[in-house]
Amino acid sequence: MCLFGCNSSSGGSTASQGANQPPQSGGTASASNGGPCVSCCPSFNIRSQTIATQPGSRTRTNIGIGKEVDLSTDPSTSVTWSIDSDDGHKGTLSQSSGSTTRYTACDRTKSVTIKGRNSCGNEATITFTVVEPSSGRFHTETDISQITSTTINVGFQASPTMMPQNVSFYNCEMREGVYTSTSSGPLAYRPEVQHRDTGSWVAFSSTVGSDGTVLSAPDTVSTNIQPLSRFPAGGTTDGRFLWPIPWRAQVRGWNERPNCLRYPEPPYDLHCVESQPESIQRQSQ
């Protein structure tokens, strides 16, 4: 058996195996009676598990901004945790020592390596690629168009989403920004209509589908109720109303993470066209 006070014959080492793989065997040490014993300071590996259960495997190392990942040593051993070459803008660790810690990513694309080092100097590392939002989409549209004998309203309801779909942005939130419309034909407005900032942030859900991370609330896109008299009787007429409203996304609680953010204006503008040109046909009365 390994007695108290014996020293590892292997000295300090760095684990060369990949993350979430079985650890290498440690060095051996000699007990005071000269017999062999198991290592007092074995090599170890770092295992990871994302808090978000979607998408795919929870051991993935591509993670969205603001994402949280639990880290642990295998076999369980107390280590000193650190972010390699930390400049104060690579995220945070929930604790700096122990057999576990939680990494929270920041809000910009980065490659982040986290290191664990035990008392004998043995080290293991794991590297994450932090991914920013790339674009916005709509998910599962529902037609809400209505036509009566005197009015017309063309539109749909859908949940905004944030791409790419191979990471989760559940720890982010979104709001709509300011933009002025471009319109023509029966849908023309003079002056053009300005979309106002929505003024509040809406959180993304934990659901990730083929269109990316889904917002926790749906959006309504429509022409609003228009008098049918705006459209010529008989035939087909084209009306255009274009509102490319900026979708602004940021990590939730960014103002509570002074050591995380580097930029004074963190939101991303994800431009997504709210209303495409509609071709509306009025039947002759």
CB atoms within 10 A of CB 152: 19
To which residue do tokens 């063309």 refer?
Answer: 154
Least confident of 1-15, 56-70, 201-215, 242-256: 1-15
Query: Are residues 53 and 110 both part of a single domain?
Result: yes
pLDDT, tens only, 239-259: 888 888 888 888 887 655 443
Instruction: Give CA separation, 170 vs 19, 46, 167, 212, 249, in Å.
Output: 24, 24, 9, 10, 11
12 in any annotated domain: no
pLDDT reported for residue 21? 55
| Residue that finishes a domain, picked among 131, 152, 179 | 131
The reply to whether 217 falls in a domain is yes
59-69: average pLDDT: 95
Same domain, 98 and 184: no
Domain C-terminal end among 106, 131, 156: 131
Closest CA to 65 of 273, 211, 262, 200: 262
What pLDDT digit, counting tens, does each position of 117-140 carry? 999 999 999 999 999 988 888 888
Q: Are residues 143 and 70 in the same domain?
A: no
165 plus 207 within the same structural domain: yes
Instruction: Report the share of the chain in percent with pLDDT over 70.
Output: 74
Q: Which residues span the domain enclosing 198?
A: 135-281
How many CB atoms within 10 Å of residue 44?
A: 23
pLDDT in tens, 134-193: 888 888 889 999 989 899 888 899 999 999 999 999 999 988 888 899 998 888 888 999
Looking at residue 19, its pLDDT comes to 54
271 within some domain: yes
Check which CATH number belongs to the domain holding 254 and give it: 2.60.40
Same-domain check for residues 163 and 256 = yes
159 and 53 assigned to the same domain: no
Q: What is the pLDDT of residue 241?
A: 84
Asked if the model's pLDDT at residue 273 lies above 70, the reply is no
Q: 44 lies in a domain?
A: yes
Residue 20 in any domain: the answer is: no
Same domain, 124 and 143: no
Alpha carbon distance 207, 75 (integer Å): 33
Per the model's pLDDT, the better-predicted residue between 204 and 281 turns out to be 204
Number of domains in the chain: 2
Residue 141 shares a structural domain with residue 250: yes
Q: What is the mean pLDDT of the chain?
A: 78
Note the pLDDT of residue 265.
Answer: 39
Q: Are residues 165 and 272 in the same domain?
A: yes
Question: Looking at the structure, do residues 219 and 146 belong to the same domain, yes or no?
Answer: yes
For 65-83, what is each residue's pLDDT tens digit?
Answer: 999 999 999 999 999 999 9
Separation between Cα atoms, residue 222 and residue 193, nearest integer Å: 14
**Claim to verify: residue 165 and residue 262 sit in the same structural domain:** yes
- pLDDT for residue 272: 37
Q: How confident is the model at residue 20 (pLDDT cuts 50, 70, 90)?
A: low
pLDDT bin (cut points 50, 70, 90) of residue 274 is very low
Q: What percent of the chain has pLDDT over 90?
A: 44
82, 112, 131 - which closes a domain? 131
